[in-house]
Every structure is written in C-alpha cells, then in structure tokens.
Structure 1
Amino acid sequence: MQTRLLTALFVCVAFLSCKDDKKVNEEKIEPLQTFVEPAEIHEFGFNLNDFVVKRDTIQSGDSFGAIMERNKIGYPMIYNIVESAKDSFDIARRLQVGKPYTLLCSKDSLELPQCFIYQPNQEEYVVINFKDSIHAYTNRKPIKYVEKEATGIIDSNISETLESQGLSPRLAYMMADDIYAWTIDFRRLQRGDRFKVIYTDKYIDDSIYVGVDKIKAAYFEHNNEPFYAFRFKTDTVKGIVDYFNEEAKNLRRAFLKSPVKFGRISSRYNLKRRIAYYGYKVRPHKGTDFAASIGTPIMATANGTVTESTRRGGNGKYVKIRHNATYETQYLHMKAQNVKKGQFVKQGDIIGWVGMTGNTGGPHVCYRFWKNGRQVDPLREKLPEAKPISDSLKTRYLDFITPIRERLDGIQFNETRIDEDLLAEETLITQAK
C-alpha cells in the first residue's frame, strides 16, 4: 500500500514539473518580427529615402563652388555644373545669404552630392541635378488656398480687434490700403464700427502657413453706414483686379495717395521754397518727398506704361510712368529699379526701392506728378476715380456678386460685444447682432 502511494505521488510531481517546463518554454518563444518599409518622404519631386539628405543655409562668404568643395566635389565638376546650368539659373551669382539649400547625397560611405536644391523664397525652388547628366530647372511647391470668414467689432482699433481673435494683421492692411483707402479713414474708426470679411489663407505643402492671400469680399459698417466691397477681375489680359461696391461702383481712385506704404511726407510741393544752403534763394520743389528707410518698396500709384527707367544727374535712379494722355508720375532717388522701359505696370506694383542716389540728404522717394505736361501738387489735385466697370461687364458682375453678398449677409458677428451701456454714454448707437 505504501509503495503504491509513493508511486502515485512521484507521477503527480513529474506531471506538474513537465507542465511548468512547458509553460517556461512557451514564454521564451518570441514572435517573428515583421520588417516595415519606412514611409516614403517626397519633397522637391524626389523620394528623400533614396538619398542622404543634408540641409543648410547660405552663409556669408559661401558660393556654390565652396559648398561643393566642402562636400568632396572637385573643381572640374563644379565648373561643368555651373556652365551647364547657367542658362536656367546662374548658380554662381544668384545665391543669397540666409536662403536655405538642400543636398541630396548618395547612400554610401562617400555620401557624394548628386543634386543641389536652392530655395530663393518659400514657394519656388531651383533644382541642379547632376546625378547622371547635368540639368537645372525651377519649380514651385504645391500651394493650397483655404477660404475663411472673419468678423469683428472695433473697440480701439482694427489691428487689436484682429489680434484678439488670433487673425493676421495683414487683413487690416489690405482693408485699409487695398480696399477702403478712399472711402474709410482707418485712423478715425469709431468704437462700435464692425466688419465681416471673406478671405483666403495660403499654405505651402499643406502645412506651412504663408499668410493672407486675398480678400474676396468685405462688409464694413462705419458710423452706421454700410460699405460693401467685392473683388472682380476687369481685364483678364492684363490681370487688372479692382474692388467694387454692390452697385458696381469702383471703390478706389485712379491714383494711390502715396507711393510707399510706411513713409511720411518730409517735404511738400512748394514753388517758393528757400534753402539756407543756397543762400535762401528760391529753389522750387516740384515734388512731394516721402521719407522711408532704404530698401522700402516703391509702388506705382496707378496703372500705366514705364517711359523711363534710368539714372540721370540729381534725380539719381528713377522711374517715369505714363498713365494716360493726361497724367504721368516720376519716382526719384531709388536704390534700384524693378521695371524696364516699355513695361506695363499695375497700381501697387513694386517698381523700385527707396535709396539715396542723386542729390539727396537722406533716404526718401521724391514723387513727381504731371498733368497735361505740367508738374502739379498731387495732394491738391482732385484726382479722377478709377475706371468704372464697362456696361458689357456690369451685368456679369452683378450676377457674380449675388451669391457672395448673400453669404456675406448671412455671416453673424462675433458674440464678443462691446458694453452697450458704455456705447450709449459715448453716444454710439451701433448695436451688435
């Protein structure tokens, strides 16, 4: 009997021991690992996984040759690349300090560059590909436009109103300078004035925010008076775009008030001006000087054709534009011109930059204005309105804006309101919806 019990106990222990060993062995077995291909990363038209990617910016003293030599490319090859690519892009002369570049290098121990990509701005990029044969081309990154809406009620000024909502201050500049410059004085906005705007934001590669691209339509209520604005292209050949109200009336004048956005009048048109340096003799000043820092963009104040873009005597570097049979304008003392003789320019186009060439005591643009061949004071002239919509386009325009206006009218104002009691005290009767 005792022998039988010992035998049974031994069998039970052995069984349990085998079961535990099997459990341990099962825990030690690891599942097979699955190899996952890395996700393809595409940029500049290349699969970056195929290269060793090196990114940097152009440093002071850098040249294309210096960058290539640092990356083990010899002079004969550098010369061939520069000569082969110069008809498409002069890589030896046009690199600017601070601009980014990318090298696509071979995936081996040498990591030799096979492609040089230069970005002169956020949208464009230049590809110099010399992996097999040498070729160069310029391309643009994919752009996405997202249409958005915004509203605001003025408390102190429009910039603060936009900033409080996390909106771009460029919206304020565009409304003040591009749309309502001749109908609303944005320096005298009233507390309680309000606006609605439909605009588009611009993105590069779906993720890089570039800023506000354009305003499609706007409604501004100033001193209880409504001002509508709708963007409409009146000339598809020359690409002329204007803003018109609900009755198809152009909102701007034929001429901008100033050729620079951020400048002040330092000297006005004055035919009786006397200067101490010249012994207080009468030295007529037939222009209006706008002081601004060197490099400030100078804009064409109206549509027209460039008749002169040169340098001469005390005028320094300058541009002259004929706008029609009656009006001409001239812009003196430029650092550099951005247009050529015979070129058509639109109002607001950059025609040059503020400088100090010619006879000048400081950086400014001397703005001269001709009417029927005689220089006059533009600040005293009753300037003409911009060209109205033609009768043939008016019907199309009114049909075009109908759904946009319905959408604009349907946008509700932001619920953040100004204290109505305080408004009453200030005799403002605007009531937010």
Structure 2
Amino acid sequence: MDQWGIKADRVDQLLTLSKDDFNPRKWRAGDSYWLLRAKDSARGAAFFVYEPSVAEYVLFGLGDSLFVRKVERPKVTKERIVGGKIEGSLYATLEKQGVSPAVAVKLSEVYAWTIDFFRIQVGDRFEVIYEESYVDDSVFVGTGKILAARFFHNGKSFYAFQYQNTDASVKGYYNQEGEGMKRMFLKAPLEFARITSRYTMNRFHPVQKRWKAHLGTDYAAPSGTPILATASGTVVAAAYQSANGNYVKIKHSGTYTTQYLHMSRIGARIRNGARVQQGQVIGYVGSTGLATGPHVCYRFWKNGRQVDPLREPMQRADPLPRSLWSEFEPGMTARKAVLDSLSKE
C-alpha cells in the first residue's frame, strides 16, 4: 500500500484491527479489491475495499481514525425444485441440471440412516425442494436447507420433510407419517465411497491368496477420507494389529459393537474408554495391515456374533410428537404434492 501513501506502521495497525474479520494469509491472486480516494484536492486514499467473495467484503477506513469492518451483502432465499432419474451417480445427475454439488451432500446427510448411497442404481429417482441464497437477486452464493425430498430406490419411495417447531425444541427430518429419519446406526461409515467387497462366507482374499469368510463390508475411498462412528458408544479398542492395521472398535450397547479396520491413522483423542458420538470422525481411510489399497473394512456384531450390517433392521429415532402433527401436516402435504407431481413427469 506504500504506492498509495499508506505507510507500513498504518498497515500494521489495520492488520491488528482486522484480526477478527480478515486473514491476510487467505488473500488469493485474482481476488477483487478497490481503492477509494477522497474528493478533495489531495486525492488521498480514503478507503480500501477487499472482496473475499461475492457475498461479503471488508472495508478498511484509511482516514485519521483507522477502522476495519466486515460487511455481508443482503441475501435473498429462494426455493428451487429439481428431480430426475439417476444417470451414473447422484453428483452427475445434479450437475447436468446445473445444481450445486452441495445438494448431493445434503441429501446424503438427510438419508444417511435410511438409504445406502453407495448402492443407488441407474434408474433410481429423486425429487427435492431446497433453498438457494442470492445477492442482488441473481448472483448465486450458496445452498441452504433441504426442505423436502423423495428418493425412489429399490422399488420404494423414501420421503423426508424438514420440520422445526416454534421454540426449536423439536427439529429434524420426518417422513409423511411423522416418523423420524434418524436411526441408531448410519448406513455406512463414510460419507462417500463405493462398496468393493460385501459380507460373505466365501471370498478370495487378495493378500493371503486363499478362499475364506469375509465378515465385513469394504468401502473404498481415497487415503485420508474421514471415517465416521456409525453410532454413539464407547471405544473398547484403538490400536494396531498386523492383519487389521490401525483399527478402532466401539461398543454401542449390550447388543451392538462395530469395528473399523486398515486406517491410515486413528483420530485425535480416540482411545480406550473414550465416548464417541454418531457421525464423529474416529480415523482416516488407509491401507495398513492386510490390505491392497485404501479402504475401510466395517465389521458389525450383534449379541457377540458378526452379521451383515446392510441386512440388519435398525430402530428409528423418536417420531414427531402427535401434539405437533397439526403444525407439520399442512406444509408436509403441500410439499408432498409437489414432489409427487414431479415424479409423474
């Protein structure tokens, strides 16, 4: 800023003032900025404006009294409705319609307990009503909440409707009958991956080169992908073993236990006795132990016996209280009609 007559000591003062609003290390080549000069004869620098994104800017006052102010541009929220048949992947299908990839992420979060997104197929169908944010009424700046959705998978429709009561004491996603979308266990320990080997009593082991039971489900993903606890519980093992590599084992109740193998590293503060929450990162995908490539082997015990988690029925979370049905039903019914009309196109 020296070229505009702003000396180094004043720049240092501005950076000190801006520590809560502006990080100079995040300044990137190509970011927009403006220098506004005073209207007097001296034409001295009066304001410096830096625009980190189209949604906000940082105003630096360069007069006698220095100041820094972060300003968020006014946003408007619009509802958008999209739908279609899956072609290759949910990402690809949404991309063809000019929809932000964030919608795919949010849908996977809504349905994390009910649909295994690693098993969706070409021909499955979705309809979704969601929020988009704009500045100046036309410049897209982000995706908001999923308001309602229908996913048609394996011959069945799965509806989800967002609801929050007036004091926010009850909130979440519910189906058309008021049942909560959440269940005790997530469908998978990764947000995005692909199943490479299912639970089976007879699989050719790629490292040991022999046929043996594979009592787990393998999810391939890039090294370093976060691995999530599929349910809340207590860590009973977090260690290294020659076959399992780095692994974590979690006891969820007197009935269920899960295990996650071949991690590149175990997550911070994940140790024996640690309490973990559903969806918490417990480690990262790797290929330690007997593994030919980066993946997580997910194992699942019920009453001390290993079972296939993809075939295990899971209890739902609490349903919507019946006292709130009169608030929930009108919005749900209207949005369901919109979703159903799209599915017939």
TM class by smaller structure: 0.5 to 0.7
* 1:115 aligns with one of 29, 32, 48: 48
Instruction: Specify every segment of 5 or more residues in structure 2 that has no aligned partner in the other structure, as ranges.
Output: none
Query: What CA distance in whole angstroms lies between the structure 2 residues aligned with 1:343 and 1:103?
Result: 50
Query: What CA distance in whole angstroms lies between the structure 2 residues aligned with 1:386 and 1:235?
Result: 24
What does the per-residue CA deviation read over 1:267-305, in whole Å, with 9 as the maximum and x for residues that have no partner?
A: 8899x99997xx99xxxx999765434675x37455759
Query: Which is worse superposed, 77-86 or 404-413?
Result: 404-413
What does the per-residue CA deviation read over 1:398-429, in whole Å, with 9 as the maximum and x for residues that have no partner?
A: 54133431353267746xxxxxxxxxxxxxxx
Question: Is the contact between residue 259 and residue 299 of structure 1 (CA under 8 Å) also seen in structure 2?
Answer: yes
Question: Is the contact between residue 250 and residue 385 of structure 1 (CA under 8 Å) also seen in structure 2?
Answer: no
Paired positions, count: 331
C-alpha spacing 1:361/1:199, structure 2 compared with 1 (3 Å): same
- Listed as ranges, the matches of 1:15-94 within 5 Å are 68-69=1-2, 71-86=4-19, 88-89=20-21, 91-92=23-24, 94=25
Secondary structure, in 3 states, of the residue corresponding to 2:14?
helix
Secondary structure, in 3 states, of the residue corresponding to 2:146?
strand
Q: Could you tell me the TM-score, scaled by structure 2's length?
A: 0.62
What does the per-residue CA deviation read over 1:26-80, in whole Å, with 9 as the maximum and x for residues that have no partner?
A: xxxxxxxxxxxxxxxxxxxxxxxxxxxxxxxxxxxxxxxxxx3465432222222
Tell me which residue corresponds to 1:5: none
Query: What CA distance in whole angstroms lies between the structure 1 residues aligned with 2:60 and 2:250?
Result: 38
Query: What CA distance in whole angstroms lies between the structure 1 residues aligned with 2:169 and 2:76?
Result: 24
Is 1:230–2:161 an aligned residue pair?
A: yes
For residue 241 of structure 1, report the CA deviation from its aligned partner.
2.5
Q: Could you tell me the TM-score, scaled by structure 1's length?
A: 0.52
* 2:81 aligns with one of 149, 153, 160: 149
Is 1:189–2:123 an aligned residue pair?
A: yes
Instruction: Specify every segment of 5 or more residues in structure 1 that has no aligned partner in the other structure, as ranges.
Output: 1-67, 415-429
Judging by fraction of residues, say which structure has more strand: 2
Is 1:408–2:336 an aligned residue pair?
A: yes
C-alpha spacing 1:83/1:259, structure 2 compared with 1 (3 Å): same
Query: Which is worse superposed, 247-256 or 298-307?
Result: 298-307
Query: What CA distance in whole angstroms lies between the structure 1 residues aligned with 2:299 and 2:249?
Result: 10
Tell me which residue corresponds to 1:57: none
Query: What CA distance in whole angstroms lies between the structure 2 residues aligned with 1:410 and 1:189?
Result: 21
Query: What CA distance in whole angstroms lies between the structure 2 residues aligned with 1:162 and 1:226?
Result: 19
Tell me which residue corresponds to 2:133: 202
* 2:186 aligns with one of 256, 277, 281: 256
For residue 248 of structure 1, report the CA deviation from its aligned partner.
1.7
Secondary structure, in 3 states, of the residue corresponding to 1:198?
strand
For residue 210 of structure 1, report the CA deviation from its aligned partner.
3.3
Secondary structure, in 3 states, of the residue corresponding to 1:77?
helix
> Kindly, what percent of the aligned residue pairs are identical?
22
For residue 247 of structure 1, report the CA deviation from its aligned partner.
1.6
Query: What CA distance in whole angstroms lies between the structure 2 residues aligned with 1:186 and 1:236?
Result: 37
Tell me which residue corresponds to 1:292: 221
For residue 203 of structure 1, report the CA deviation from its aligned partner.
1.5
Is 1:100–2:31 an aligned residue pair?
A: yes
Query: What CA distance in whole angstroms lies between the structure 2 residues aligned with 1:316 and 1:69?
Result: 56
C-alpha spacing 1:126/1:404, structure 2 compared with 1 (3 Å): same
Secondary structure, in 3 states, of the residue corresponding to 2:23?
coil
RMSD: 5.8
Question: Is the contact between residue 222 and residue 295 of structure 2 (CA under 8 Å) also seen in structure 1?
Answer: no
Tell me which residue corresponds to 2:63: 131
* 1:388 aligns with one of 293, 307, 318: 318
Q: Which structure is richer in relative contact order (CA contacts within 8 A, separation 6 or more)?
A: 2
* 2:264 aligns with one of 333, 343, 351: 333
| Residue identity opposite 1:146 in structure 2 | K
For residue 197 of structure 1, report the CA deviation from its aligned partner.
3.6
| Residue identity opposite 1:406 in structure 2 | A
Question: Is the contact between residue 245 and residue 251 of structure 1 (CA under 8 Å) also seen in structure 2?
Answer: yes
Secondary structure, in 3 states, of the residue corresponding to 2:328?
helix
C-alpha spacing 1:79/1:110, structure 2 compared with 1 (3 Å): same
Question: Is the contact between residue 148 and residue 335 of structure 2 (CA under 8 Å) also seen in structure 1?
Answer: no
Is 1:214–2:137 an aligned residue pair?
A: no
C-alpha spacing 1:353/1:104, structure 2 compared with 1 (3 Å): farther
Query: What CA distance in whole angstroms lies between the structure 2 residues aligned with 1:97 and 1:320?
Result: 42
Query: What CA distance in whole angstroms lies between the structure 2 residues aligned with 1:316 and 1:139?
Result: 49
Secondary structure, in 3 states, of the residue corresponding to 1:187?
coil
